[in-house]
Amino acid sequence: MARPIVIGLEVHLQLVTKTKLFCPCSTDYIGHKPNTNVCPICLAVPGTLPLLNDGAVALACRMGLGLHCEIQNYSTFGRKNYFYADLAKAYQITQYELPVATGGYLDIECDGQSKRVRIHHLHLEEDAGKLVHPTADGRLTGAAYSLVDYNRGGVPLTEVVSEPDMSSPAEAKEYVMKLRQLARYLDVSDGEMESGSLRVDANISLSKDDGSLGTKVEIKNMNSLKALERALEYEISRQNKTLDSGGRIVQETRLWDDAEGVTRSMRNKETASDYRYYPEMDLAPIIISDAEIEGYRDAMPELPWEKRERFAESFGLSGEEVSILTEQKDLAAYYEALVASGAPKARAANWVRMEVLRVLNELGQDIAAFRVRPAVLADLVTRVEKKELSSTIGKEILDVLAREDLTLEEAVKRSGAQVGRMTGDALGELIKRIISEQPDVVQTIKSGQDKKGGKLKFLQGLVMKEARGQADPQEAAGLLSKFLAG
Amino acid sequence: MKMTVDQEITLKMAKAAQLRVEPENVEKMMNSINDILDFCALVGDLDCEGVPDFMWKMKKLPSRRPDAPEDWPDRELFESAAPVYDGEFFKTPRIIAEG
Amino acid sequence: MELYELSAKETAQGVSSKKFSAAEVAEACIARADKFEGSVNAVITRTSEAALTRAREIDAKVARGEDAGPLAGVPYFAKDNFCTRGTRTTCSSKILEHWSPTYDASAINYMNAAGAVMMGKTNLDEFAMGSSTENSIIGPTKNPRDLNRVPGGSSGGSAAAVAAGYSPLALGTDTGGSVRQPACFCGVQGMKPSYGQVSRYGILAYASSLDQVSPLARTVEDLAIAMEVLARPDPHDTTCDAYDRPRFTEALSLRDLAGKRIGVFEGFESSQMDAELYGALRKAAEHCREAGATVEPMDLPIAVKYGVATYYVTALADASSKLACYDGMRYGSHRDGPTLNEMYVNTRTACFGEEVRRRIILGTCLLTEGFYQNYYGPALKVRQRMVDEFNELFERFDAYILPTSPSLPYVIGMKETDPNRLYLGDIFTVPISLGGLPGINLSMGLNAEGLPLSVQLVGQRYFDAELLGIASVLERIVGKPGVATPGKAETSEGAK
């Protein structure tokens, strides 16, 4: 008797604003010298006051609208008080009572089933700084001191809090993927779990035998989708074992240890109530007029599910093709540009799915950095369609164009590949040379021992190869027979 | 509802505030907290059914800060006076890794 | 008349018209402080050299025929919780003993831009927590009207400096009466503006929802000029209102109180307060009537009963949060420790004074789960009811007259131990702060022993200019307070 699983997720997204949530410092902290993107506000210098970033409000609203939330006309900030070295003010400014967006949902697909995950709310808050624990031998334990870098301190986050509507690790993973896709479509966040611009905390409980809700455990520190899935699976099995052996689940926060593949109790470190929340009076409330909300609504780009629908309708593609092409907004745009430049819809879809993604994967590139502009690829695809180029050569040319700054003409020339370019006397000279270089094979053919024609095919292949695809196969075959007979 | 603290809670509060109360002063601190809790319990006596939480109202709300980065010209001046700045990081006693 | 006795208005006019120089005024004020500072102890850091340099710059500007500003050459002191670039800002605390901010508070910027000359940083109770200016790293400030008595607080240094003639103008901060009460004790005019009038940027906070920059002076007109300089929108403080302020000095053209409806507070038993201060209240009401106002008794049942408790919960909770940033890492004093927590505890325990530590622990308690639901949460609602009560009353009145303090300045060292009497000291000032209303301490002369008497005028939120107008009419009747000569007993007659 499997106990029903109840999962709710809190997803933190770093917003891609230019400046921090409450000060005009740059949000660019990765790879920067420590403590250079700081100012009196994010260092909590006495007398300074937070100044709310308009851009962060706009992004939070956009994300809220993408999640079908209601944007609040009036929302407020609060302080979450606790001491830690990475928190300069010793309180985090966050929203807890009146968040900027409430209600809403996100539809996910899992095992071919569609499921609606309700969103409780979305709020704005500031990120903390970063701690570094150096040691002579690079180990984490045994350091004599810790180092604090406040560059990340104050970077805007939006926290999306779901209802406990997910019932398997796979659904949780799918939800995060969908949320990340939405955030990227909306240019709200990079959504990179590995770099920490998307962070997930999971609340999980197993229902009791009588069907009532079980004790909730929070899991933190999962740095990839894989880790999220593994941590939830581990936790389900841990809780099941505990309950099977008659034990009790303790309400607590546990940290996922990816190396060991286990969750560990934070030893009752701090519970929510110890944070001492109360209203932030250094900031005016966020007042968002209906007109402002309408402005955000009007500026909403096409959402992933809208794009999928449109692609299926206007390009006549299969569900799988549409999914792949619309996974990333930029890839979808690339495909559309390809078609707009004259590439046939189905062919173009194949090229993007098979070849463009292959090359991007080989190069470790994003479509944004892809050298081959859609118009160029459209030209290439058209030439292959017209049989001016073989499809093998076409793919080779794409490889070259993706790696070097060449025009299509230059790449074609470089490949030397153009059907029908080597013809007449030039082709004749090439064939004569090959015949002279293969006396044994020629002898075999002439003596009538090439019953199955294998040797002749071998020579034909040599000719085509040496001609580098420029010879017309029929002309080459005719000339070869003529010279062998001669 | 009027609340009180005992010595244990008094010490817990001091700890949360990152302050030390010497053993000989715990009782005095506890009494001081209880005096205030006793007096301030008054705030629970007024009927505030349906009254919203206080928040300032303004005649004209200042506009939100535009999302444009600015440099801080006085960084070095600040750093030169920072107690635990090592030229790159703020240095603290070892923080034991969580977990 | 000596230069140090002039009002800010007279000083600026004299400097701008080259009747005397800003340098001469600065020298006179420096000499005045030199003479009495040994006994008054009002100033933590004096910046006399910089002040003289600055005064000469003002004189040069005047000589070039440029407009040197509405406070041209006017000396002023700022409470030592205003950030001043390059000048240490201690908040009377060991934790900031050697801290020099890298920036000026907005109020300081505005004063300087108006041509005023900063003379130094005045004493206060550590982190503005107190009402006697005894609780300080430099020791207590004495009341210039009677050196045995406290000047009030927490802006006691600023009030004493203005009373003793160190400067015609000073800046303080008022959280629950911290400018009005010392103005009352030292016999000067002091105004807490409506919340949201003046930027708090660069003020070392006590309580975010209550602190207001507040000027002290010896004339109501100087308060109005200071308000015109200080009250303006500030991109560094989003709790500072963005609306266009009126011309505060224009309100001073009010000739009488005809048509004004004044409420006189009568919601207390006379046994609860000093008889002479009660007399001053009655007298002020009489003057209002003489000046043509309709005067009626009024009461503030919610504000008076619940105000002090609500104030304590609000202010202590906020102080515990705002003072958490002093962790010995980025600025201020530091004490080592083997772990992060021990470093925090060592720094904060050694460098915060006893009263500050006590209030931080109290505030922490009030925000903790359970206590919050019974204290902070209800206080937020009671505060809203107080605001509603004020709003209803302002449908009937243009202004109220209340006492500022229920008692005359007390003798130094006479610490109030009875908590209930201690709380009573703030009973008339804190409700005004909680409501965000403008309040003016108006000097009503001296009693027979030379101790100051005064009343508090209170107006509707954002009606600061109208309140200044009413205060100026009354000031014309009762007279402006004079400069005190510390160490010399004064009498009512002697002060005039």
- Say which of C105, C317, C341 has its CB closest to residue A278: C317
> What residue in B sits closest to A140 (Cα-Cα)?
B97
> What residue in B sits closest to C209 (Cα-Cα)?
B56
Residue B50, pLDDT above cutoff 80: yes
From the candidates C9, C79, C142, C480, give the one annotated as an active-site residue.
C79
Which chains have 3 or more CB–CB distances shorter than 8 Å to chain C? A, B
pLDDT of residue A417: 63
Question: Yes or no: is domain A424-485 CATH 3.50.50.60?
Answer: no
CB-based burial, C297-321: b 16+ in 10 Å, e otherwise = ebebebbbbbbbbbbbbbbbbbbbb
CB contact under 8 A, B62 and A284: yes
Cα separation, C96 vs C331, whole angstroms: 8
Measured between beta carbons, which residues in chain A are less than 8 angstroms from residue B95? 85, 131, 133, 146
Residue A415, pLDDT above cutoff 80: no
Q: How confident is the model at residue A441 (pLDDT cuts 50, 70, 90)?
A: confident
Residue A422, pLDDT above cutoff 80: no
CB contact under 8 A, A46 and C96: yes
> What residue in A sits closest to C369 (Cα-Cα)?
A273
> What residue in A sits closest to B73 (Cα-Cα)?
A39
Burial of A208 (0-12, 13-18, 19+ CB in 10 A): middle
Interface contact C96, partner B, CB < 8 A: no
pLDDT of residue A138: 53
pLDDT of residue A327: 93
Mean pLDDT, rounded, for A189-193: 95
pLDDT of residue A270: 46
Residue from C472, C484, C412 nearest C153 by CA = C412
Mean pLDDT, rounded, for A186-207: 95
Cα separation, B42 vs C386, whole angstroms: 14
Centre a 10 Å sphere on the Cβ of residue C47 and count the other Cβ atoms it contains.
20
**Mean pLDDT rounded to a whole number for chain A:** 90
Token output for C311: 């104030």
Mean pLDDT, rounded, for C341-359: 96
The upper half-sphere exposure of residue A175, i.e. CA atoms within 13 Å in the direction of its Cβ, equals 31
Q: Active site includes C94?
A: no
CB contact under 8 A, A278 and C321: yes
Smallest CA–CA distance, residue C200 to chain A, in Å, is 8
pLDDT of residue B43: 97
For residue C211, give the amino acid letter: D
Mean pLDDT, rounded, for C226-238: 98
Pair C161, C215 in one domain: yes
Mean pLDDT, rounded, for A156-175: 97
**Mean pLDDT rounded to a whole number for chain B:** 92
Interface contact B68, partner C, CB < 8 A: no
B89: helix, coil or strand? coil
Pair C271, C317 in one domain: no
Quote the ipTM score: 0.96
How many helical (H) and strand (E) elements, i.e. helices and strands, does chain C have?
17, 11
Pair C188, C73 in one domain: yes
Lowest mean pLDDT among A9-18, A43-52, A126-135, C428-437: A126-135
Cα separation, C456 vs C440, whole angstroms: 5
C347, B13 Cβ separation under 8 angstroms:
no
Smallest CA–CA distance, residue A18 to chain B, in Å, is 6
Cα separation, C473 vs C247, whole angstroms: 17
**How many CB pairs (< 8 A) connect A and B?**
104
Pair C172, C283 in one domain: yes
Pair C112, C216 in one domain: yes
pLDDT of residue C269: 72
Residue C491, pLDDT above cutoff 70: no
pLDDT of residue A92: 97
Task: Transcribe C252-320 into DSSP letters.
Answer: GG----TT-EEEEE--S-GGGS-HHHHHHHHHHHHHHHHTT-EEEEE--HHHHHHHHHHHHHHHHHHHH
Residue B86, pLDDT above cutoff 50: yes
Pair C214, C326 in one domain: no
> What residue in C sits closest to A83 (Cα-Cα)?
C324
pLDDT in tens, A395-405: 889 999 999 98
Mean pLDDT, rounded, for B69-96: 90
Query: Domain range holding B11?
Result: 7-44
Q: How confident is the model at residue A139 (pLDDT cuts 50, 70, 90)?
A: low
CB contact under 8 A, C238 and A284: yes
The upper half-sphere exposure of residue A472, i.e. CA atoms within 13 Å in the direction of its Cβ, equals 8
Lowest mean pLDDT among A259-263, C159-163, C267-271: C267-271
Domain-located, residue C382: no
CA dihedral sign, ordered C25, C29, C30, C31: positive
Mean pLDDT, rounded, for A299-324: 93
Mean pLDDT, rounded, for B20-43: 96
pLDDT in tens, A232-274: 999 999 999 999 999 999 999 999 999 999 999 886 554 445 7
Q: How confident is the model at residue C495 (pLDDT cuts 50, 70, 90)?
A: very low
Cα separation, A244 vs A105, whole angstroms: 34
Residue from A257, A452, C350 nearest B99 by CA = A257
What count of residues does chain A have?
486
Burial of A341 (0-12, 13-18, 19+ CB in 10 A): middle
Cα separation, B21 vs C494, whole angstroms: 50
* In the block, residue with structure tokens 């080779």: A396
Q: How confident is the model at residue A136 (pLDDT cuts 50, 70, 90)?
A: low
* In the block, residue with structure tokens 């509405």: C70
Pair C295, C323 in one domain: no
Q: Into how many domains does chain B fold?
A: 1
Lowest mean pLDDT among A128-137, B24-33, B62-71: A128-137
**Mean pLDDT rounded to a whole number for chain C:** 95
pLDDT of residue A453: 80
CB contact under 8 A, A281 and C239: yes
Residue A456, pLDDT above cutoff 50: yes
Residue C494, pLDDT above cutoff 70: no
- Residues linked to residue C79 through DSSP beta bridges, in sequence order: C122
Q: What percent of chain C has pLDDT over 70?
A: 96
Q: How confident is the model at residue C493 (pLDDT cuts 50, 70, 90)?
A: very low
CB contact under 8 A, B13 and C364: yes
* In the block, residue with structure tokens 């308000």: C227
Q: Active site includes C79?
A: yes
Residue A190, pLDDT above cutoff 90: yes
Token output for C87: 């000048």
Residue from C472, C455, C456 nearest C248 by CA = C472
Domain boundary among C350, C374, C398: C374
Pair C47, C103 in one domain: yes
Task: Transcribe B7-55 into DSSP letters.
Answer: HHHHHHHHHHTT----GGGHHHHHHHHHHHHHHHGGGGTS--TTPPPP-
Domain-located, residue B22: yes
Domain-located, residue B1: no
pLDDT in tens, A346-360: 999 999 999 999 999
Q: What percent of chain B has pLDDT over 90?
A: 84
CB contact under 8 A, C436 and B56: yes
Interface contact B20, partner A, CB < 8 A: no
Lowest mean pLDDT among A237-251, A412-426, C300-314: A412-426
Query: CATH number of the domain that C19 lies in?
Result: 3.90.1300.10
Pair C215, C77 in one domain: yes
From the candidates C21, C132, C154, C443, give the one annotated as an active-site residue.
C154
Smallest CA–CA distance, residue B45 to chain A, in Å, is 21
CA dihedral sign, ordered A211, A213, A218, A223: positive
* Most confident segment among A228-232, A319-323, A413-417: A228-232
B69: helix, coil or strand? coil
**Over C56-86, what HEC string results?**
HHHHHHHHCCCCCCCCCCCEEEEECCECECC
In degrees and rounded to multiples of 5, residue C355 shows phi and psi of -65, -40
Domain boundary among C319, C339, C374: C374
* In the block, residue with structure tokens 């044994």: A440
A384, A394 Cβ separation under 8 angstroms:
yes
pLDDT of residue A271: 46
- To test the contact with chain C by mutation, choose from A79, A148, A282, A283 the residue with the greatest count of C C-beta atoms within 10 A, namely A282
- Say which of A40, A91, A148 has its CB closest to residue C321: A91
Interface contact C241, partner B, CB < 8 A: yes
pLDDT of residue C152: 96
In degrees and rounded to multiples of 5, residue A112 shows phi and psi of 75, 0
Interface contact B50, partner C, CB < 8 A: no
Pairing outcome for strands C43-46 and A156-162: unpaired
Task: Transcribe A222-233 into DSSP letters.
Answer: E-SHHHHHHHHH
Residue from C460, C444, C358 nearest C404 by CA = C444
> What residue in C sits closest to B41 (Cα-Cα)?
C375
Pair C332, C460 in one domain: no
Cα separation, A41 vs A416, whole angstroms: 63
Q: How confident is the model at residue A469 (pLDDT cuts 50, 70, 90)?
A: low
Domain-located, residue C380: no
Residue from C69, C177, C76 nearest C117 by CA = C76
Pair C391, C359 in one domain: no
Cα separation, A236 vs A264, whole angstroms: 14
Residue A23, pLDDT above cutoff 60: yes
Query: Domain range holding C310?
Result: 302-374
pLDDT in tens, C182-222: 999 999 999 999 999 999 999 998 999 999 999 999 999 99
Q: Into how many domains does chain C fold?
A: 2
Classify residue A85 by its DSSP letter.
T
Which chains have 3 or more CB–CB distances shorter than 8 Å to chain B? A, C
pLDDT of residue A9: 98
Measured between beta carbons, which residues in chain B are less than 8 angstroms from residue C383? 54
